[in-house]
Amino acid sequence: MASKDPQVERLGTVLEKSLKRLELATQLDEYGVWPVWNDVVGKPIALNAQPEKIRRGTLFVRVASPVWMQQLQYMKEMIAEKLNRRLKSEVVKNIFFVVGQVGGEAIEAESKPPPLKASEQRAIDEQFLDSIKDPEIKQAFKKLLKSYSRRKQGG
Protein backbone atom coordinates (compact mmCIF):
# COMPACT_ATOMS: atom_id res chain seq x y z
CA MET A 1 0.00 0.00 0.00
CA ALA A 2 1.38 3.41 -0.95
CA SER A 3 2.16 5.87 1.83
CA LYS A 4 1.06 9.50 1.74
CA ASP A 5 3.41 11.88 -0.02
CA PRO A 6 4.71 14.38 2.60
CA GLN A 7 5.05 17.08 -0.08
CA VAL A 8 1.30 16.91 -0.83
CA GLU A 9 0.48 17.26 2.84
CA ARG A 10 2.77 20.24 3.15
CA LEU A 11 1.17 21.86 0.11
CA GLY A 12 -2.25 21.49 1.75
CA THR A 13 -0.94 23.07 4.95
CA VAL A 14 0.63 25.95 3.02
CA LEU A 15 -2.60 26.49 1.09
CA GLU A 16 -4.67 26.51 4.30
CA LYS A 17 -2.35 29.04 5.95
CA SER A 18 -2.41 31.23 2.84
CA LEU A 19 -6.20 31.21 2.74
CA LYS A 20 -6.35 32.25 6.40
CA ARG A 21 -3.72 34.96 5.95
CA LEU A 22 -5.49 36.40 2.91
CA GLU A 23 -8.89 36.00 4.65
CA LEU A 24 -10.11 34.04 1.63
CA ALA A 25 -11.44 31.22 3.81
CA THR A 26 -14.15 33.56 5.14
CA GLN A 27 -15.09 34.62 1.62
CA LEU A 28 -15.27 30.99 0.51
CA ASP A 29 -17.57 30.25 3.46
CA GLU A 30 -19.77 33.22 2.54
CA TYR A 31 -20.19 32.06 -1.04
CA GLY A 32 -21.46 28.73 0.26
CA VAL A 33 -24.86 30.46 0.54
CA TRP A 34 -25.57 30.24 -3.22
CA PRO A 35 -25.56 26.44 -3.64
CA VAL A 36 -27.87 25.90 -0.63
CA TRP A 37 -30.21 28.94 -0.94
CA ASN A 38 -33.00 27.34 -3.02
CA ASP A 39 -33.09 24.22 -0.88
CA VAL A 40 -33.07 26.14 2.41
CA VAL A 41 -35.82 28.65 1.54
CA GLY A 42 -37.96 26.39 -0.67
CA LYS A 43 -39.30 26.83 -4.18
CA PRO A 44 -41.94 29.56 -3.60
CA ILE A 45 -39.38 31.88 -2.01
CA ALA A 46 -36.55 30.89 -4.36
CA LEU A 47 -38.67 31.86 -7.37
CA ASN A 48 -39.09 35.35 -5.92
CA ALA A 49 -35.87 35.98 -3.99
CA GLN A 50 -32.25 35.24 -4.83
CA PRO A 51 -28.99 36.16 -3.10
CA GLU A 52 -27.08 38.87 -4.93
CA LYS A 53 -23.94 39.42 -2.85
CA ILE A 54 -22.61 39.04 0.67
CA ARG A 55 -20.38 41.54 2.47
CA ARG A 56 -19.07 41.17 6.02
CA GLY A 57 -21.89 38.83 7.02
CA THR A 58 -24.70 40.85 5.40
CA LEU A 59 -26.47 38.91 2.66
CA PHE A 60 -28.08 41.12 -0.01
CA VAL A 61 -31.12 39.41 -1.53
CA ARG A 62 -32.95 40.64 -4.62
CA VAL A 63 -36.73 40.17 -4.35
CA ALA A 64 -39.38 40.29 -7.08
CA SER A 65 -41.68 42.87 -5.49
CA PRO A 66 -42.26 45.08 -2.44
CA VAL A 67 -44.80 42.53 -1.19
CA TRP A 68 -42.15 39.82 -1.15
CA MET A 69 -39.73 42.22 0.51
CA GLN A 70 -42.22 42.89 3.30
CA GLN A 71 -43.05 39.21 3.80
CA LEU A 72 -39.43 38.12 3.87
CA GLN A 73 -38.47 40.96 6.20
CA TYR A 74 -40.46 39.16 8.93
CA MET A 75 -38.67 35.90 8.15
CA LYS A 76 -35.08 37.11 7.73
CA GLU A 77 -33.81 35.96 11.13
CA MET A 78 -35.27 32.50 10.61
CA ILE A 79 -33.78 32.29 7.08
CA ALA A 80 -30.35 33.41 8.36
CA GLU A 81 -30.52 30.84 11.14
CA LYS A 82 -31.40 28.06 8.70
CA LEU A 83 -28.65 29.07 6.27
CA ASN A 84 -26.08 29.16 9.08
CA ARG A 85 -27.23 25.79 10.38
CA ARG A 86 -26.89 24.33 6.88
CA LEU A 87 -23.44 25.93 6.40
CA LYS A 88 -22.36 24.85 9.91
CA SER A 89 -21.01 28.33 10.58
CA GLU A 90 -22.33 31.81 11.38
CA VAL A 91 -21.86 33.13 7.86
CA VAL A 92 -25.06 35.21 7.56
CA LYS A 93 -25.42 37.78 10.33
CA ASN A 94 -28.01 39.99 8.59
CA ILE A 95 -30.14 39.95 5.44
CA PHE A 96 -30.88 43.08 3.42
CA PHE A 97 -33.59 42.90 0.75
CA VAL A 98 -33.69 44.97 -2.45
CA VAL A 99 -36.47 44.99 -5.02
CA GLY A 100 -35.49 44.11 -8.56
CA GLN A 101 -35.84 41.55 -11.29
CA VAL A 102 -35.24 38.03 -10.04
CA GLY A 103 -34.24 35.58 -12.79
CA GLY A 104 -36.51 34.47 -15.62
CA GLU A 105 -38.74 32.31 -13.43
CA ALA A 106 -39.68 35.09 -11.00
CA ILE A 107 -43.25 36.20 -10.72
CA GLU A 108 -43.66 39.58 -12.39
CA ALA A 109 -44.95 42.25 -10.00
CA GLU A 110 -46.75 44.06 -12.82
CA SER A 111 -48.79 41.07 -14.01
CA LYS A 112 -51.67 41.00 -11.58
CA PRO A 113 -54.41 38.39 -11.98
CA PRO A 114 -58.06 39.35 -11.69
CA PRO A 115 -59.40 39.43 -8.10
CA LEU A 116 -60.47 36.08 -6.65
CA LYS A 117 -63.43 35.19 -4.48
CA ALA A 118 -62.54 34.72 -0.81
CA SER A 119 -63.15 30.95 -1.03
CA GLU A 120 -60.88 30.67 -4.10
CA GLN A 121 -58.17 32.65 -2.34
CA ARG A 122 -58.38 30.42 0.76
CA ALA A 123 -58.05 27.30 -1.43
CA ILE A 124 -54.99 28.77 -3.19
CA ASP A 125 -53.46 29.80 0.15
CA GLU A 126 -53.94 26.28 1.53
CA GLN A 127 -52.43 24.74 -1.61
CA PHE A 128 -49.47 27.13 -1.34
CA LEU A 129 -49.00 26.32 2.35
CA ASP A 130 -49.15 22.59 1.62
CA SER A 131 -46.23 23.00 -0.82
CA ILE A 132 -43.96 24.35 1.95
CA LYS A 133 -42.18 21.52 3.72
CA ASP A 134 -40.44 23.41 6.53
CA PRO A 135 -42.88 23.81 9.47
CA GLU A 136 -41.40 27.12 10.71
CA ILE A 137 -41.55 28.77 7.28
CA LYS A 138 -45.04 27.32 6.74
CA GLN A 139 -46.25 28.83 10.04
CA ALA A 140 -44.68 32.21 9.22
CA PHE A 141 -46.41 32.30 5.83
CA LYS A 142 -49.70 31.24 7.42
CA LYS A 143 -49.52 34.27 9.75
CA LEU A 144 -48.62 36.56 6.85
CA LEU A 145 -51.49 35.30 4.71
CA LYS A 146 -53.92 35.74 7.58
CA SER A 147 -52.66 39.28 8.23
CA TYR A 148 -52.79 40.16 4.53
CA SER A 149 -56.35 38.84 4.25
CA ARG A 150 -57.49 40.96 7.22
CA ARG A 151 -55.85 44.09 5.80
CA LYS A 152 -57.35 43.45 2.36
CA GLN A 153 -60.85 43.12 3.81
CA GLY A 154 -60.41 46.23 5.95
CA GLY A 155 -59.14 48.53 3.22
Percent of the chain beyond pLDDT 70?
64
By residue range, what is the domain housing residue 128?
113-155
Q: What is the DSSP string of the chain?
A: -PPPPHHHHHHHHHHHHHHHHTTHHHHHHHTTHHHHHHHHH-HHHHTTEEEEEEETTEEEEEESSHHHHHHHHHHHHHHHHHHHHHHTS---SEEEEEE---TTTSPPSS-PPPPPPHHHHHHHHHHHHHH---HHHHHHHHHHHHHHHHHHHH-
Does residue 7 lie within any of the structural domains?
no
Domains: count for the chain: 2
For the chain, the average pLDDT equals 77
The answer on 44 and 63 residing in a single domain is yes
The model carries a pTM of 0.56
Q: Look at residue 105 and tell me if it is in a domain.
A: yes
Same domain assignment for residues 57 and 70: yes
* pLDDT exceeds cutoff 90 at 114: no
Q: pLDDT-based confidence at 107, cuts 50/70/90?
A: very low
Residue-wise pLDDT for 58-101, tens only, equals 999 999 999 999 999 999 999 999 999 999 989 999 999 999 99
Predicted local distance difference test score (pLDDT) of residue 111? 37
**What is residue 106's predicted lDDT score, i.e. its pLDDT?**
42
pLDDT at 109: 39
Residue 100 counted as domain residue: yes
Residue 35, in any domain of the structure = yes
